[in-house]
Amino acid sequence: IIQSVTKLGQILNKEKKSVQIVNSLEKRIQYIQNSEKKTIPKVLAIEWIEPFFTAGHWIPQMIEFAGGINLISKTGDHSRRMDMDEVIRSDPDIIILMPCGFDTDRTVSEYGSILSNNSAWNSLKSVKNNQIYAVDANSFFSKPSIRTIDGLEILAKIIQPEKFENLIVPDNSFSKIS
């Protein structure tokens, strides 16, 4: 993302503006990444609900920067299918639903129709502790752009709520599912 902004600045002969944007983005990333975290929760990011797909690519690194331990997938790996047994074995503290191309409202709706009455799902610690979140994957997570930095801030608010309670994120960018 940073390299793309720099390259666009060169192509458009707007290097000064691109340097300002890059500096701003890097400060936001460093603020999240370098903030001290008291606890490091285990986080499972789910890119698709039926069938389950774990979020891969850049999402694992974003979770780690935001102060969580990413479960199942690794940075740079493709998103991949997983089953309920794998979800149960991973024992996440927090689950973040981010179906590719969905906004928050559609994700909450899909959750209600697919998972809310699933007994295996409802046995998860994260479900019992009301630590299930829907995010606007279409705007902040599904495609790399400067809005991905907003996505990092959204993850920080979810994963480390006390630390980042004053961080301002876009309206309707995430929702706690209860």
For 90-133, write each residue's pLDDT tens digit. Answer: 999 999 999 999 999 999 999 999 998 999 999 999 999 999 99
Q: Do residues 17 and 142 lie in contact, with contact meaning Cβ atoms separated by under 8 Å?
A: no
Indicate the range of 6-20, 56-70, 97-111, 147-161 predicted with least confidence.
Answer: 6-20
Q: Tens digit of pLDDT for each residue in 124-175?
A: 999 999 999 999 999 999 988 889 999 999 999 999 999 999 999 999 999 9
Cα separation, 60 vs 160, whole angstroms: 16
Q: How confident is the model at residue 75 (pLDDT cuts 50, 70, 90)?
A: confident
pTM: 0.91
**Dihedral sign (CA 3, 4, 7, 12):** negative
Residue 38 has pLDDT above 90, yes or no: no
Structure tokens, 23: 């500096």
What is the rounded distance in angstroms from the CA atom of residue 16 to the CA atom of residue 52?
A: 44
Strand partners, 176: 133
C-alpha distances out from residue 38 to 67, 159, 161, Å = 9, 11, 11
How many Cβ atoms sit within 10 Å of the Cβ of residue 111?
Answer: 19
* pLDDT at residue 1, as a whole number: 79
**Beta-carbon contacts of residue 117 (< 8 Å; ≥ 6 apart):** none
